[in-house]
Amino acid sequence: MKCKHVFAIALLSVGSMKLQAQQHRAHEQQMHTMASEVQQTNVRIAILLYPDVVLQDFAGPMEVFSKAKNLSQGKYTVFTVAKDLKPVRTENGLLKMTPDYTLENMPTADYLIIPGASMPVMHALVDDKVYLDFIKRWSKKNDGHLVTVCTGAYLVAPTGAFDGKKITTHYFVADDLAEQYPKATVVKDVRFVDEGNIITSSGVTSGIDVALYLVGKQSGEKMKAMIERAMQYTYHEEEKWPVAPNGMRYRSQ
């Protein structure tokens, strides 16, 4: 009886190993199929860094694209760019990063992600001609897409790239952005707005939504859904915005 029991366990073990092998082959086949569905040989994403940038504004999209790179078997390339190659600290000095490229020597990219920061930081950036000239050059490209996250919209608006377009930004500064740049139409209660080569997203975590949206466009809904599950994140295109307490609102000085 003991031998029969051992033999039965051995059979179960072999069966389990076969099932695992079959599941592994099915998973590999699914990964290969998804990789073949990516529209481009390589989707290239540049992320702009600058001092005191909000970490979540670029970390969220970066994580989405990192998972897309795995699932597509390397068809996504993500790199960072900055004014120079000096280490950049995020808001409150939480993280120090060394950019991959400068604004002058960066490789070609399909998407340029511009994350946001506190409004004093954004106003200081707007006063720096280097950033505005760079964005003007980029926005004139026919084959590149400009993507803003949160208050990153304030770095693009002065260049005129938003004129005649629908845009969005963080809910707390949306009215101010509309007043400062009346040639653009600010849309509320959305996570992002796609106007072709200009894509804007609302507050902070909306960068995850816009990144998932871009993955869906490039690689299909199946990959997008897999990344949603992996991140335990629920994708939204529309969402009722919060209301600031006591009628508070931001106004540019």
Say yes or no to pLDDT of 197 above 50.
Answer: yes
51: exposed, middle or buried (C-beta count within 10 Å: 0-12, 13-18, 19+)?
middle
What DSSP string runs through 84-96?
Answer: SSS-EE-GGG--E
What DSSP string runs through 184-201?
Answer: SEE--SBSEEE-SSEEEE
Say yes or no to pLDDT of 32 above 90.
Answer: no
Percent residues over pLDDT 90 in the chain: 77
Mean pLDDT, the chain, rounded, equals: 89
For residues 171 and 1, what is the distance between their CA atoms, to the nearest angstrom?
72
The stretch 35-47 carries a mean pLDDT of: 76
Say yes or no to pLDDT of 64 above 70.
Answer: yes
Q: Which residues pair with 76 in a beta bridge?
A: 43
The model's pLDDT over 139-195, given as tens digits with 9 standing for 90+, comes to 887 688 999 999 999 999 999 999 999 999 999 999 999 999 999 999 999 999 999
In the chain, the domains with their CATH numbers are: 41-247 (3.40.50.880)
- Can you give the pTM of this predicted structure? 0.85
Amino acid 17: pLDDT? 58
Amino acid 247: pLDDT? 82
The model's pLDDT over 69-85, given as tens digits with 9 standing for 90+, comes to 999 999 999 999 999 99
Question: Residue 12: which pLDDT band, with cuts at 50, 70 and 90?
Answer: low
Amino acid 24: pLDDT? 45
Between 9 and 117, name the one with better pLDDT: 117
Say yes or no to pLDDT of 18 above 80.
Answer: no
